[in-house]
A and B are shown apart, each in its own frame.
Chain A
Amino acid sequence: TQLLEQSPQFLSIQEGENLTVYCNSSSVFSSLQWYRQEPGEGPVLLVTVVTGGEVKKLKRLTFQFGDARKDSSLHITAAQTGDTGLYLCAGGSGNQGGKLIFGQGTELSVKP
């Protein structure tokens, strides 16, 4: 069974600080996605990475897919209170019957 270990699970920082969230696995994924979810709502897709070593930027968010496609990171620069939420990574692999494998999630709180 493929697993995605996401860390940290909880993060509380001050506005303006930088942070990094990690997703690691011993298995290879064909793609990896990052979502942000607010309370009472469904996950919203932020980015999909598919190529080993790929780096994608979305304003202050930088996403990286490991060379071996086993890990990924999300880096937020100069966090804002509006970044508060639950961040989820999810990997796709043909070995799991078309299912997405989710990490445990990172609950981010950015304080003013």
Chain B
Amino acid sequence: GAVVSQHPSWVICKSGTSVKIECRSLDFQATTMFWYRQFPKQSLMLMATSNEGSKATYEQGVEKDKFLINHASLTLSTLTVTSAHPEDSSFYICSARRGAEIREQYFGPGTRLTVT
């Protein structure tokens, strides 16, 4: 199979602090990972594309200084929400692409972030 994990599954933090979310491909190497944000009962919104060993590519309207992405290895990408505010509260989902095929994308279980 192709399993992607995320850690933590949920996190509560205080306004102004930073929080890091990890995305790991457990049984395959992923040169490309994707980070999505999702609001209740809505579709996934792509935030950024993370490529191993290079800078992430952010979608229009996503603040790269606020959402720091690091793809340090072929099995790990991290998303750090810096100086979090209540409006950053959301469900964050990562996916990892196995190989070159676009459809070979496998999703993590998501991380629920609540900023108080």
* Per-residue contact bits, chain B 96-116, to A (CB 8 Å; 1 contact, 0 not): 010001110111111010000
CB contacts under 8 Å to B, within A72-95, are 86, 88, 92-94
Q: Is the pair A41, B97 in contact by a Cβ cutoff of 8 Å? A: no
* Per-residue contact bits, chain A 16-39, to B (CB 8 Å; 1 contact, 0 not): 000000000000001101010000
Residues of the A chain whose Cβ atoms lie less than 8 Å from the Cβ of B42: 104-105
Docked Cα-Cα span, A30 to B102, in Å, equals 9
Q: Is the interface of B mostly helix, strand, loop or mixed?
A: strand
Q: Is the pair A43, B107 in contact by a Cβ cutoff of 8 Å? A: yes
Also in contact, A93 and B108, with CB within 8 A (given A43-B44, A98-B32, A105-B42): no
* Per-residue contact bits, chain B 11-47, to A (CB 8 Å; 1 contact, 0 not): 0000000000000000000001010000001111010
From B41, B102, B107, B112, contact of A99 by CB (8 A): B102
From B43, B95, B110, contact of A40 by CB (8 A): B110
Q: Is the pair A100, B105 in contact by a Cβ cutoff of 8 Å? A: yes
A62 beta carbon closer than 8 Å to chain B: no
A112 beta carbon closer than 8 Å to chain B: no
* Per-residue contact bits, chain B 35-62, to A (CB 8 Å; 1 contact, 0 not): 0000001111010010000000100000
Docked Cα-Cα span, A103 to B42, in Å, equals 10
Within the complex, what minimum Cβ distance (angstroms) separates A16 from chain B? Answer: 24
Q: Is the pair A99, B46 in contact by a Cβ cutoff of 8 Å? A: yes
B79 beta carbon closer than 8 Å to chain A: no
What would be 24 A-B contacts, judged by CB atoms less than 8 Å apart? A31-B101, A40-B110, A42-B109, A42-B110, A43-B93, A43-B107, A45-B107, A50-B103, A88-B44, A92-B101, A92-B103, A94-B102, A98-B102, A99-B34, A100-B34, A100-B46, A100-B105, A102-B43, A102-B46, A103-B43, A104-B42, A104-B43, A105-B41, A105-B43
| Chain B residues at the A interface, C-beta cutoff of 8 Å | 4, 6, 32, 34, 41-44, 46, 49, 57, 91, 93, 95, 97, 101-103, 105-110, 112
